[in-house]
Amino acid sequence: MADIAYIKSFLNIHLDFPRKGVAFCDIFPLFRNPLAFEALITHLTHHLVSYVIPTSPNGKIDVIVGLDARGFLLGPVIALRLGAAFVPVRKRGKLPGECVQATFEKEYGTDEFEMQANAIQPGQTVVIVDDIIATGGSASAAGELVAMQGGEVVQYLFIAEVSFLKGSAKLKAPVYTMIPLNS
């Protein structure tokens, strides 16, 4: 698809960041170009409208969950376009009020995510969005948080996947990734 090639042209790889041996995929150039950002959001929204909503148990997407922090850049815009709610998943201690927690392993350590309690109601259909999936730990933890509250993840949505880490294999719902990163 031409839009995927166009979007991919804005991604930059930074070697040995944030530590030696890691190749970091920088999505921020997408946000400096309004046309590229529009192409990205339109592509992701089109995928959800064309492939996810028709197979969703209730015929819609109730909630978009965005992962800390780059999922916050994508999630609210997609939620607005779909008429869905947006719920953030943050690192421990960053959300007020009662929260539910899930611990996960990532490429370089352990972390904990939180979601405000009752942010998702039982039976709601949920899409989890983030920029890149690597090991799948953070996305899997977000899925656990949704399940703890009775929601149903109907799709995980990413711009790119570090394919050789096979993170999408850890997830318990369908995964859509626009761009495979093979190194």
> Tokens representing 142?
């977000």
Question: Nearest-CA neighbor of 74 among 40, 117, 125?
Answer: 40
Unique residue bearing structure tokens 């592509």:
43
CA–CA distance, 48 with 69 (Å, rounded to integer): 21
The answer, yes or no, to whether residue 10 has pLDDT greater than 70, is yes
28-76 per-position pLDDT tens digit: 999 999 999 999 999 999 999 999 999 999 999 999 999 999 999 999 9
Unique residue bearing structure tokens 């804005």:
10
CA–CA distance, 65 with 141 (Å, rounded to integer): 12
CA–CA distance, 11 with 33 (Å, rounded to integer): 12
Q: Mind telling me the catalytic residues? A: 70, 107
